[in-house]
Amino acid sequence: MGGSLISYLACILLSLAAGIAIAFPLGIQYRKKVAEAELGTAEEEAKRIVGDAIKDAEVKKKEALVEAKDEIHKQRTEAEKEVKERRNEVQRLERRVQQKEESVDRKLDNLEKKEETLQNKIKEAESKLKEAAEIKANQFEVLEKISGYTAEQAKEYLLSSLENELVHEKALKINLYEQKFKDESEQKAKEIIATAIQKCASDYVGEVTVSVVPLPNDEMKGRIIGREGRNIRTLETLTGVDLIIDDTPEAITLSSHDAVKREVARTALERLIQDGRIHPARIEEMVEKAQREIETKIKQDGERAVLETNVHGMHPDMIKLLGRMRYRSSYGQNVLQHSIEVANLAGVMASELGADVATAKRAGLIHDIGKALTHEIEGSHVKIGVDLARKYKESAAVIHAIEAHHGDVEPKTLVACIVQAADAISAARPGARRENLENYIKRLEKLEEIANSFEGVEKCYAVQAGREIRIMVRPDVISDDQMSIIARDIVNKIEAEMEYPGQIKVNIIRENRAVDYAKKRKKVGKKPDLF
């Protein structure tokens, strides 16, 4: 059974193998035929596509050739047109150049002709000049014979006449320029100064060299003097102030040129009188206490001045020096109040003139700072002030303003001019300053001496407290034209040799009188009437 099954399976397998062996070649042949058929179809399609493509390419080629021919024709036409235009432009330029060359040639011909004509005229002019020189020489000879003057004498005469005419013209010019300057600047200056004065006006109390301390009774004088004068000697030694005890009832006078020491002595003495205990030890204690109080007050006065003028960033030592100026006076004017007023005046004027207000106020406040140390350091207050400003690192503009405010150097900045003007305004206004009789007389004598030093001055009088000098000149020496010149010369000499606040008016007076007398004369030759 098993053997038959195997035989059966073997027969099946052999049958399958035979079928496969027969079917495989047949399949291959079939596939080959199908492939050959498809390949033939594809070749035909490819040939058709290639043929179509060649036809399209030929068509596009023809179209491109036509378009290229059209473009070439167009560009050629444009190029020919441009060439033609450029050719025309070149021809036009050539014609212009030719015309210019012709014009230049004509101008050269004209210039040659003119040069020739000019040369001829020069020759004629030279000949005429020669003739003129000969004629002039002949005329000089004739004029010398007629006038009786030589050429040199005539020249001197003409120069003398011309000099007199020039003096007249010079005087007229001076008057004209002065009037023009006054017309243009006086009104503006008055407005600025008036504005500054209105904003900064203040009152002054005259400073003196003595202080009077009231006493409750005359018995206090003896207590102040002390046994054998020990109390008064101690007080004078400690303060450096002279105590004057005279017959004045219930009062003691303190005398010293140093206002700080005088104030210390006054304060200490008033405290001693209130306390009642007057002996050397108590005097020493009160003087020390008064010195501390005055130092504190000096600092407060300096700070007040800085705050009042709105000046910031100042060195503390400079502030103390400002406070010390509270106890210094100039011609009766308190120097600290004067400095504050100058700072305010300078600030107002700087604002009006467009200058640096802060710098002007700072320079105005410390312009007299040297006066705080004039008793201790040798030199003018200007030099001391400049040294102090340099020491405490003030700006160059401030230092220059301090140095120039009295004319020691020429003011080179607007701030320096403003401070100089503000100082003069503060010092010159009525009631600001006073001076003693001796200095007053010396200033008047100096004014008259300067005026009398000029030739032609007959008399002169200083009037209005030295604010004006009236000068009478000799009319036979000084002419009307020379009056303006001599007035200017006198002003320049006053400015160079004198120091004064404000301004001094120079008034020149010239009078020429002609006097004659008419007398009754007897008539001669007429017979008397007969009755």
Report pLDDT digits (tens) over 288-298: 888 888 888 88
Q: What tens digit of pLDDT does each residue of 133-175 get?
A: 888 888 777 776 776 667 677 777 777 777 776 776 777 777 7
In 3D space, the residue among 475, 509, 476 whose CA is nearest the CA of residue 490 turns out to be 509
What's the rounded Cα separation, in Å, for the pair 211 and 324?
Answer: 18
Range(s) within the chain of domains with CATH label 3.30.1370.10: 203-304
- Give the mean pLDDT of 52-80: 87
What's the rounded Cα separation, in Å, for the pair 302 and 317?
Answer: 10
Q: What tens digit of pLDDT does each residue of 242-293 get?
A: 877 776 677 778 877 777 788 888 888 888 888 778 888 888 888 888 888 8
Q: What tens digit of pLDDT does each residue of 218-247 get?
A: 777 778 777 878 888 888 888 888 877 776
- Arch. (CATH architecture) of 437-510: 2-Layer Sandwich (3.30)
CATH no. of 203-304? 3.30.1370.10
**Model confidence at 185: pLDDT above 70:** no
Would you state the pLDDT for residue 205? 40
Range(s) within the chain of domains with CATH label 1.10.3210.10: 310-434
Average pLDDT of the chain, as a whole number: 79
CB 418 within 8 A of CB 341: no
Would you state the pLDDT for residue 90? 92
Q: Which helix (H) or strand (E) holds 228?
A: none
CATH no. of 310-434? 1.10.3210.10
Instruction: Reduce the DSSP state of residue 243 to 3 states and report it.
Output: strand
Q: How confident is the model at residue 18 (pLDDT cuts 50, 70, 90)?
A: confident
- What DSSP assignment string belongs to 89-145? HHHHHHHHHHHHHHHHHHHHHHHHHHHHHHHHHHHHHHHHHHHHHHHHHHHHHHHHH
Q: What tens digit of pLDDT does each residue of 113-130 get?
A: 888 888 888 988 888 888
Range(s) within the chain of domains with CATH label 3.30.70.1350: 437-510
